[in-house]
Amino acid sequence: MLKIAVKSAVLIFIILSIYFIIHPAACSNLLMGRVTMTTDETPSVPYATAPDTHSELFVPTGDQDWNPSQAGAQTPNNNVAGVVDTRSLSQEQKPLYTQEEMDEAIARLYVKLEKEYAKKNEITKDTAKEISYIVMDKFDMNVKEWESFLQRATDSHLFEKVRADMAHD
């Protein structure tokens, strides 16, 4: 009798495993206590008042215009206090920097750190690498972006210009 119970439990486990492999959203819905989608019109839970409008999995659909009537939100004519429509914000609020301005800021930081290290220790290749990594971290740059910056700075003699400007200051 015990063998039959164990075998039936293993069989049920295998069937449920296959079901949850085929329908992974059913597993997450079961664990979250949500009702899975049913084919009949009556809700399977007696206290459910509205049908579930959420899909089983979130699938991004790309950039689409936001429609307040679909989201059930306030329209722009009757805004709630403290809620701002981000589409109405002007683009002028963000500071826009040219590539030359960014390159100059990166070079200024590099030269500043180079001078600080020169006061403490002598400059070596390891020091240059260390300064480079500090600057890369500060400006969220990867190695490819850093090499691109170095190429532009070398072509335009940016480091010499920044050193000359900082010597006058």
pLDDT (tens digit per residue) in 83-123: 766 666 665 555 678 888 898 999 999 999 888 888 887 77
Angstrom distance (rounded) from CA 54 to CA 77: 28
| Assigned domain for 60 exists | no
| Assigned domain for 65 exists | no
Question: Into how many domains does the chain fold?
Answer: 2
Residue 59, pLDDT score: 53
What is the extent of the structural domain holding 6? 1-34
With beta carbons less than 8 A apart as the criterion, state whether 44 and 50 touch.
no
| Assigned domain for 105 exists | yes
| Assigned domain for 71 exists | no
Quickly count: other Cβ atoms within 10 Å of residue 117's Cβ: 17
pLDDT (tens digit per residue) in 21-70: 887 776 666 666 666 555 555 555 555 555 555 555 555 555 555 565 55
Print burial letters for 18-54: b (CB count within 10 Å at least 16), e (below 16).
Answer: eeeeeeeebeebeeeeeeeeeeeeeeeeeeeeeeeee
| Assigned domain for 138 exists | yes
| Assigned domain for 6 exists | yes
Residue 109, pLDDT score: 92
* Per-residue pLDDT band at 19 (split at 50, 70, 90): confident
| Assigned domain for 53 exists | no
Judged by phi (left if over 0) then psi (alpha if -120 to 50, else beta), residue 62 lies in: left
pLDDT tops 70 at residue 10: yes
Report if pTM > 0.85.
no
| Assigned domain for 162 exists | yes
